[in-house]
Amino acid sequence: MSIPLTLVLGGARSGKSRYAEGLVTAGPAPWVYVATAQAFDDEMVARIARHRADRADGWQTVEAPLDLAGALDAAPAGATVLVDCLTLWLTNLMLGEHGITAAIEALEAALDRRAAPVVLVANEVGLGIVPDNALARAFRDEAGRLNQRLAARAGRVLFLAAGLPLTLK
């Protein structure tokens, strides 16, 4: 496995999406933006529109709330792919009662099939107090495990705070 895989971790509004975009656009186009966000409500519609407006020209945007593996396979062979973000994808899987383990394995297999760089964005959600409700606890456990698993595969892992990176790997 020699894929140049980068994982960009960070909290809400830590600048992780913008930083990840900068990593991608520092290399040659084409660039494919794989958005996992689903616009359930006005708040999400506004957030998605703001993110899209913030991106530079030259991006192809693909929406993949569930089938990340399919989106990676469908991207042009030489394109650099940015997945933003894994944590929303996990949310979508859990809310839809899709199988998480199979989906993660399919994602990993798709990552193995890519030769061009991939940048994954994920939220760190485990640094607050223990949530009151069991679903939130289960979610942060799954999110933490997913981050660990992809960090182990990645060649480069960054932790973003206030728009600035700390290098984990």
Catalytic status, residue 98: no
**Per-residue tokens: 163:** 């728009």
Q: Which of 27, 96, 136, 155 binds its own copies (CB under 8 A)?
A: 136
Nearer to its own copies, 67 or 124 (CB): 124
Nearer to its own copies, 4 or 30 (CB): 4
Radius of gyration of the chain (CA): 15
Candidates 18, 51, 153, 156; catalytic one = 51
Q: Of the listed pieces 7-15, 24-32, 66-74, 96-104, which binds its own copies according to CB under 8 A?
A: 7-15
User: What character string, x for contact with its own copies (CB under 8 A) and - otherwise, covers 150-169?
Assistant: xxx----x-x-xxxxxx-xx
Strand ranges (DSSP E) for 31-93? 31-35, 59-63, 80-84
Beta carbons of 34 and 62 less than 8 angstroms apart? yes
User: 45 in helix, strand or coil?
Assistant: helix
**Per-residue tokens: 63:** 């929406």
Q: Which of 2, 13, 53, 97 binds its own copies (CB under 8 A)?
A: 13
Q: Is 107 in the site for its own copies (CB under 8 A)?
A: no
Q: Which of 90, 104, 128, 155 binds its own copies (CB under 8 A)?
A: 128
Q: Which of 4, 11, 30, 70 binds its own copies (CB under 8 A)?
A: 11
Nearer to its own copies, 3 or 151 (CB): 151
Torsion of CA 63, 64, 65, 70, to 10 degrees: 170
Q: Is 131 in the site for its own copies (CB under 8 A)?
A: yes
Which DSSP state fits 119? E
Interaxial angle between packed helices 100-113 and 134-153, expressed in degrees from 0 to 180 and rounded to the nearest 10: 20
Please state, in angstroms and rounded to a whole number, the distance separating the CA atoms of residues 110 and 104.
10
The closest of 34, 14, 16, 32 to 24, measured between CA atoms, is 32
Residues lying near its own copies in the complex (CB under 8 A) are found at 7, 9-15, 43, 124-131, 134, 136-137, 139-141, 143-145, 147-148, 150-152, 157, 159, 161-166, 168-169
Active site residue ranges:
51
